């Protein structure tokens, strides 16, 4: 009987302790304590509510000064959302203090943080006033965006590496091929042999000595020529003056030389005509050839001239003069 009473007492004690613990949790985390503190309400407007829900904490410098009492409600024309913030009476929000929605924890929960007010602010937000805030970067969306950008960058890197591999393959198969390397090696060998030949033969001590001697002799020759040139300056000046006088005389003889040219052209034409006449005579053509070679023609010409002298042109008669005898033909050249 006594053991059963003891068991009942212990069980009742544990149940009573559990009830007290449950009541304390309700007071700590439930709305009863919040209501008992009699908070005042301000309105907050955001462009985006993110994951903000009713019951999210309102914090200032990390300390909870209230909570979000209503879920986000859309404003007219989709200009943003508004929520009601219940602030405990022992805390006040300075006028001009910025509001921002920040993520807390890894589950995507959000809180409204009150920022540092401007310096010199002495006024506080009154109950019922409207505050405007912004939204901090969402780590989930930021990570997603960074992942997308990283994927794009990796794709560009892969494409660049593929083009680089293609270029290297072309270099290996083209410019750096075995044949080209052999050609380059042979060219370098020939160049080395040429340089050695220049160094050993063309640029040897004897050649350089002869070259220096030749340069010295050339310098002496140039100095001698310069001296001769200085001595010949008066003669050159005299020759220049004589040439000037000759030029002046040629200018004065210019008109006469032009007339002489015209006269020489006439003489040249007459000589050409005489040469043509003599050519006809040598070939047996024309009147001159007949006069030189035919005795009858010569006799008739002599008779014509004698009758013209005797009777004239008006009273001309064809008479055979007694004193005229046929002229003997000239001897022919053999």
Decide if 43 contacts 75 (C-beta within 8 A).
Answer: no
Least confident interval from 204-218, 231-245, 267-281: 231-245
Could you tell me the pLDDT band of residue 151, with boundaries at 50, 70 and 90?
A: confident
Give the per-residue pLDDT at 299.
Answer: 80
Output the six-digit token pair for 61.
């410098």
Helix (H, G, I), strand (E, B) or coil at 73: strand
Does an H or E element contain 101, and which? Answer: strand 99-104
Q: What is the mean pLDDT of residues 116-141?
A: 79
Give the per-residue pLDDT at 133.
Answer: 85
Give the per-residue pLDDT at 259.
Answer: 56
Decide if 107 contacts 56 (C-beta within 8 A).
Answer: no
pTM of the model as a whole: 0.35
Alpha helices in the chain (DSSP H): 2-29, 31-36, 139-173, 178-197, 205-231, 233-252, 254-283, 287-293, 295-311
Q: Of 281, 318, 284, 280, whose CA–CA distance to 302 is shortest?
A: 318
Decide if 67 contacts 55 (C-beta within 8 A).
Answer: yes
| Cα dihedral 328, 331, 332, 334 in deg (nearest 10) | 150
Q: What is the mean pLDDT of residues 170-175?
A: 76
- Cα–Cα distance between 135 and 146 in angstroms, integer? 18
Helix (H, G, I), strand (E, B) or coil at 109: strand
Say if strands 73-74 and 57-60 run parallel, antiparallel, or are unpaired.
Answer: unpaired
Q: What angle do CA 46, 49, 54 make, to 5 degrees?
A: 110
Decide if 102 contacts 136 (C-beta within 8 A).
Answer: yes
- Cα–Cα distance between 332 and 139 in angstroms, integer? 140
Sequence length of the chain is 334
Give the per-residue pLDDT at 105.
Answer: 73
Decide if 70 contacts 84 (C-beta within 8 A).
Answer: yes
Give per-residue pLDDT as tens, 30-80. 666 666 678 899 999 998 887 888 888 899 988 889 889 899 998 887 788
Decide if 138 contacts 103 (C-beta within 8 A).
Answer: yes
């Amino acid at each position: 009987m006594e053991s059963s009473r003891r068991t009942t007492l212990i069980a009742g004690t544990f149940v009573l302790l559990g009830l007290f613990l449950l009541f304390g949790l309700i007071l700590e985390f439930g709305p009863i304590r919040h209501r008992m503190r009699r908070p005042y309400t301000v309105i907050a407007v955001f462009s985006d509510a993110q994951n903000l829900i009713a019951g999210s904490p309102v914090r200032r410098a990390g300390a909870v000064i209230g909570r979000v009492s209503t879920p986000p409600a859309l404003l007219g024309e989709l200009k943003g959302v508004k929520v009601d913030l219940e602030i405990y009476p022992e805390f006040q929000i300075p006028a001009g203090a910025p509001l921002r929605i920040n993520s807390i924890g890894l589950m995507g929960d959000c809180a409204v943080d009150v920022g540092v007010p401007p310096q010199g602010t002495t006024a506080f937000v009154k109950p019922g006033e409207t505050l405007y805030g912004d939204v901090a970067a969402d780590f989930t969306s930021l990570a997603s965006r960074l992942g997308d950008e990283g994927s794009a960058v990796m794709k560009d890197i892969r494409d660049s590496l593929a083009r680089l591999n293609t270029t290297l393959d072309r270099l290996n198969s083209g410019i750096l091929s075995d044949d080209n390397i052999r050609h380059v090696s042979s060219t370098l060998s020939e160049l080395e042999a040429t340089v050695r030949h220049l160094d050993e033969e063309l640029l040897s001590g004897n050649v350089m000595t002869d070259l220096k001697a030749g340069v010295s002799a050339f310098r002496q020759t140039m100095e001698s020529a310069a001296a001769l040139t200085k001595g010949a300056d008066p003669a050159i000046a005299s020759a220049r003056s004589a040439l000037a006088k000759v030029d002046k005389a040629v200018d004065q003889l210019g008109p006469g030389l032009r007339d002489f040219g015209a006269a020489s052209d006439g003489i040249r034409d007459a000589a050409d005509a005489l040469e043509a006449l003599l050519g006809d005579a040598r070939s047996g053509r024309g009147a001159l050839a007949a006069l030189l070679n035919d005795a009858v023609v010569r006799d008739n010409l002599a008779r014509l001239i004698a009758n013209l002298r005797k009777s004239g042109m008006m009273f001309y008669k064809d008479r055979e003069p007694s004193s005229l005898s046929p002229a003997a033909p000239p001897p022919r050249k053999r």
